[in-house]
Structure 1
Amino acid sequence: MQTETKPKVMNRLNRIEGQVRGIARMVEEDRYCIDILTQLQAVRAALSRVESEVLKDHMDHCVIGAIAGDDLADRKAKATELIELLGRASR
């Protein structure tokens, strides 16, 4: 992961961790289901943004590096990884 990406991702993950703890408290306190569901949607959206950031970093750093490099096996490996990742995401 690139140096400038890591702190941003860690900051977002720490916030998400706090959100999840807050949701657990809401469940313990028997809060209204719609309020809990709203917070769950917010966490899912935040995780999606983190996922996008990590994927962008991977493309910019790892995949572009492999494409620009001379190692054919590395290029194929990076392409295979992305295809498998996208396949898992579509399930």
Structure 2
Amino acid sequence: MAHDHIHETHPDIVKRLQRADGHLRRVIEMFGEGRSCLDLAQQLHAVEKAISEAKRTLIHDHVDHCLDAAANGPGKATKAVLAEFKAISKYL
């Protein structure tokens, strides 16, 4: 791991992902139960939305805290901060 750190948002992100994991497991069970495609699509959409929100929160937190601190603090050059922003923004 390049950086060992935890942000205030990480516990909330983990909770969201755990909830999404539970929903996904339920969707898999629903397939076995022969549930309707509408029910399955609706539940898959909810799982996808939860994961997307977790990712968005993580990226925004990184931009707000890590990159801001790196850009305004001693150490990292502007090029390195910009490169890191470009790298993480491809996941938006």
* TM-score of the pair, normalised by structure 2: 0.81
Q: 1:86 aligns with which of 78, 82, 89?
A: 89
Tell me what 2:31 maps to: 27
Q: CA RMSD in A?
A: 1.7
Q: In the alignment, what sits opposite 1:37?
A: 41
Unaligned runs of 5+ in 2: 1-5
Report the secondary structure of 1:15's partner residue.
helix
- The answer to whether 1:46 aligns with 2:50 is yes
**% identity of equivalent residues:** 34
Moved over 6 A (4+): none
Q: Which has the higher helix share?
A: 1
1:72/1:85 CA distance change after superposition, 3 Å: closer
Q: Distance in 1 between matches of 2:59 and 2:76?
A: 22
What does the per-residue CA deviation read over 1:24-50, in whole Å, with 9 as the maximum and x for residues that have no partner? 001111110111011111111111111
1:10-25 aligned at under 5 Å gives the runs: 10-25=14-29
Is 1:59 the counterpart of 2:63? The answer is yes
| Unaligned 5+ runs, structure 1 | none
Aligned to 1:68: 72
